[in-house]
Amino acid sequence: MHSVLVIWNNPIPPNPDLSWPQLHVPIKVILSQNNSLNNRFLPYDLIETDAILSIDDDIQLRHDEIVFGFRVWREHRDQLVGFPARAHFWNGSDSSWFYNSDYMCEFSMILTGAAFFHKYYTFAYTSEMSPDIRNMVDNYFNCEDIAMNFLLAHITRKPPLKVTLHWSFDCVYCGSTLHDRPDHYAARSRCINWLTNHYGYNPLMYSQYRADSVLFKTRIPLGKQKCYKYI
């Protein structure tokens, strides 16, 4: 890990007495001018590495999960590599796409609340992607992750790559979150249909597999050590 960038998405600065964790790398706090979900994908000059681990403040990942995810991303640098997966499906009854977060045998999106991607995509999202899409994200105050999935799929014509067992993350210490809103899933379905109309097609592609450690769930001789303890 090179550094930690905290995108402070509240126009009110953090309390000076706020205690940050003691790490072996610098923590840099970026104060946003406005409360926009697009801020997480700005091409900040402080980003000095090719790889970005985008992670929400209510996500908890173990050290070995981060290391494994990064090593998988190194072999798939043009793809979105991450943990929670979602899918889109066609609803024939009303001729529209809908967003699905259920456990399923295929997926087409990786949530950027816990995902690796190349820093080029922050430039593409901010400078090459249509500003109408970023305006849509601001209007819905939702779907920046879906917009990033559409962008990568459109550029690469590849699906994202899921790693490990994680399908969702529960934050027992959190209050209300965006996905707790009653219209959250309906809004995300509307985003998919809006983006499909904007692109003129739906670029999202499905995948049916995930990446796990080579020795995951493999019985090994006593005294031998697995690559990772839990994955």
Q: Any idea what the CATH number is for the domain that residue 201 is in?
A: 3.90.550.10
| Distance (Å, whole) CA 217 – CA 5 | 35
Alpha helix ranges (H) inside the chain: 63-74, 120-123, 131-140, 144-156, 184-199
Residue 88: phi and psi, rounded to 5, are -120, 145
| Spatial CB neighbours of 129, under 8 Å, sequence gap ≥ 6 | 147, 151
Domain count within the chain: 1
Q: Which residues are catalytic?
A: 145
User: For the chain, first and last CA: distance in Å?
Assistant: 20
Question: Is 224 among the domain residues?
Answer: no
188 in a structural domain: yes
Token representation of residue 16: 């000076």
The helix/strand/coil state of 91 is strand
Assessment of whether the complete model's pTM goes beyond 0.85: yes
Range of the domain at 62: 4-211
In a domain, 231, yes or no: no
* Of the candidates 8, 33, 4, 3, the residue with the CA atom closest to the CA atom of residue 18: 8
Measured from the Cβ of residue 182, the count of other Cβ atoms closer than 10 Å reads 7
Question: SS3 for 49-71, per residue?
Answer: CCEEEEECCCCCCCHHHHHHHHH
- Residue 196 is assigned to a structural domain of this protein: yes
What percent of the chain clears pLDDT 70, i.e. is strictly above it? 94
- What average pLDDT score do residues 100-114 get? 96
Q: Model confidence at 11, in pLDDT bands (50, 70, 90)?
A: confident
Domain assignment present for residue 219? The answer is no
C-alpha pair distances (Å), 222 with each of 188, 215, 217, 219: 48, 14, 14, 9
Task: Give the integer Cα–Cα distance in Å for 158 and 7.
Answer: 28
Instruction: Quickly state the pLDDT bin for 185 (edges 50, 70, 90).
Output: very high
Residue 117: band (very low, low, confident or very high) from pLDDT cuts 50, 70, 90: very high
Residue 229 lies in a domain: no
Top mean pLDDT of 119-123, 172-176, 180-184 is at 119-123
The answer to whether residue 121 is domain-embedded is yes
Q: Does residue 226 lie in a domain region?
A: no
| pLDDT of the residue at 178 | 59
